[in-house]
């Protein structure tokens, strides 16, 4: 896959998606958002890619935010359309992606960058990372899911403080808040993400996809996540992976999932 603002590489069933606008600190413009959609759409059906790692180029920024110059003169309706399309094509698309997506947060993750990281299934960060939602300092609010996902991850009070103050937190604080799972050096960031991806690959990707759907349904209005869990648990019994996993356990051998 060839893109203007992304680099996509696949090795050992792990797809590395790197946002590549280092001169702009990897800021999200309309073209990059569309390329992210196209990249994930292609990876969804690519059997060579089972886990995705999302990161930014360089050591300064994961994504420093949205490209403000593109929407500084937008109308009310244009603003609504920007948020709606962005959420549908990228942020919600990644959140509900059937394959595991790990964010490797290298440096600044601000505004749309933090929202992008929060849309992944979990996050690891370099010790130089700074995370925040500065939108209220620009007279706007987070529009790519930040007001919804941040409280889910860190709690309402902490989310309110971060949004109202428009401040940044460091990687250690982000880990304390539960916003990121692990913190390491910039040199070890990708190796850590790849190690975690490797652990995931030892398990049934069919089961993991079902688990992602069940977990996500807990956060959807009008949907009972327990019902999804029951349904997906039962469905698991009809899969080849269940037969392989249980037989491997009973015969004291390592499972060989497809």
Q: Residues of 205-236 as b/e, b for ≥16 C-beta within 10 angstroms?
A: bbbbbbbbbbebbeeeeeeeeeebbeebeeeb
**Are the C-beta atoms of 38 and 90 separated by less than 8 Å?**
no
For the chain, give the secondary structure using H, E and C.
Answer: CCCCCEEEEEECCEEEEEECCHHHCCCECHHHHHHHHHHHHHHHCCCCCCEEEEEECCCCEEECCECHHHCCCCCHHHHHHHHHHHHHHHHHHHHCCCCCEEEEECCEEECHHHHHHHHCCEEEEECCCEEECCHHHHCCCCCCCHHHHHHHHHCHHHHHHHHHHCCEEEHHHHHHHCCCCEEECCCCHHHHHHHHHHHHHCCCHHHHHHHHHHHHHCCCCCCCHHHHHHHHHHHHCCCHHHHHHHHHHHCCCCCCCC
Please tell me which residue in 47, 78, 135, 231 is annotated as part of the active site: 135
Choice among 115, 187, 188, 244 that is catalytic: 115
Active site residue 135: yes
131 in Cβ contact with 176 (< 8 Å): no
Residue 34 is among the residues annotated as catalytic for this protein? no
Catalytic center residues:
115, 135
């Amino acid at each position: 896959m060839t893109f203007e603002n992304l680099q996509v590489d696949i090795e050992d069933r792990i797809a590395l998606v790197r946002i590549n606008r280092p001169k702009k600190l990897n800021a999200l413009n309309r073209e990059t958002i569309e390329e992210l959609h196209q990249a994930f759409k292609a990876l969804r059906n690519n059997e060579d890619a089972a886990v995705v790692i999302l990161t930014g180029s360089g050591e300064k920024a994961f994504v420093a935010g949205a490209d403000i110059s593109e929407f500084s003169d937008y109308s009310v309706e244009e603003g609504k359309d920007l948020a709606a399309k962005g959420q549908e094509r990228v942020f919600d698309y990644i959140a509900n992606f059937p394959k595991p997506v790990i964010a490797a947060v290298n440096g600044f993750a601000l505004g749309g960058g933090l929202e992008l990281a929060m849309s992944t299934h979990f996050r690891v960060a370099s010790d130089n990372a700074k995370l925040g939602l500065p939108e209220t300092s620009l007279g706007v609010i987070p529009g790519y899911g930040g007001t919804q996902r941040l409280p889910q991850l860190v709690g309402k009070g902490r989310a309110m403080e971060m949004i109202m103050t428009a401040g940044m937190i460091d990687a250690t604080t982000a880990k304390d808040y539960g916003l990121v799972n692990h913190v390491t050096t910039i040199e070890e960031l990708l190796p850590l993400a790849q190690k975690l991806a490797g652990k995931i690959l030892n398990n049934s990707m069919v089961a993991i996809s079902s688990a992602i759907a069940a977990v996500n349904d807990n956060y959807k209005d009008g949907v009972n996540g327990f019902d999804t869990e029951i349904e997906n648990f039962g469905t698991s019994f009809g899969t080849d992976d269940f037969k392989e996993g249980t037989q491997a356990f009973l015969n004291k051998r390592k499972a060989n999932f497809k």
